[in-house]
Amino acid sequence: MSLKQDLYCHRCGKISCFCRYQKLFYDDAVIACRYENAAVPSVLKLKQTRNTNFAVFSARILAQRLQNPVYGKADCIVPVPMHPAEIRRRGYNQAAVIAAELSGLLGIPCRDDILFRNKSIAQHLLNAQERAKNVENFGIHPVSAENLHIILCDDVLTTGNTMSRCAELLKSAGAFRVTAASAATALRKADKKFRNN
């Protein structure tokens, strides 16, 4: 599991990226590690067994990186929301667990009263086209995020569509900057050449 900081794009959070051709609503991205090797079972444990070791571990790295002055001091941390039925089924939202850790380390409040999620199908079961449509299932409560710099937190950054859709909603409520913070970034086929770095 590589923790090297310079191996992902600081704009989009992907390793071999084409974000200059993409419309992304988040402004920058901070990643703890690549989604490979030990990170894969660690994320699964976090999702399925209440083992929060990976949340603690990744939040520490994210916090360290977010303390770089280029990110400034954000106003709040917003976890990518999960549907309430899904939270009841699993017992918690793993993105919120990472966000809570990050909140403690950075001394920045967590807010789960801004975004919500309607029932949706797990992203990993969908193809690219269906994924893009699935992100429409996020919504925003009628609250103001006027002039806020928000750290948007998730466990795995896959296509970036989820983070981008959530950032779009936050900006529609007035947020001026959204920094995507993800514990892991999923690899694309084109990333293989970087594998042994």
Contact set with Zn ion (CB under 5 A) = 9, 11-12, 17, 19
Instruction: Kindly state the smallest distance separating residue 12's Cβ from Zn ion, in Å.
Output: 3
Of 145 and 156, the one with the shorter C-beta distance to Zn ion is 156
Are 182 and 98 in contact, with CB atoms under 8 Å apart? no
Residue placing its CB nearer to Zn ion in the complex, 23 or 119: 23
In the bound complex, what is the minimum distance in angstroms from residue 30's beta carbon to Zn ion?
Answer: 13
Contact between residue 7 and residue 194 where contact means Cβ atoms under 8 Å apart: yes
The angle formed by the CA atoms of residues 78, 10 and 151, to the nearest 5 degrees, is 10
Alpha-carbon separation of residue 55 from 88, 131, 162, 180 (angstroms) = 19, 25, 19, 16
Contact status, residue 58 vs residue 173, Cβ threshold 8 Å: no
Question: Of 27 and 112, which CB lies nearer to Zn ion in the complex structure?
Answer: 27
Parallel, antiparallel or unpaired: strands 149-157 and 177-186: parallel
Q: How many CA atoms lie within 13 A of 117 on its CB side?
A: 24
Give min distance, CB of 134 to Zn ion, in A. 22
Residue whose CB is less far from Zn ion, 11 or 188: 11
Q: How far apart are CA 118 and CA 30, in angstroms?
A: 26
Residue 136 CB, nearest distance to Zn ion (Å)? 23
Nearest distance in Å: CB 83, Zn ion? 29
Read off the DSSP letter of residue 177. E
C-beta of 116 vs 194, nearer to Zn ion = 194
Shortest distance in whole angstroms from residue 29 CB to Zn ion: 8
**Closer residue to Zn ion, CB minimum distance, 106 or 180:** 180
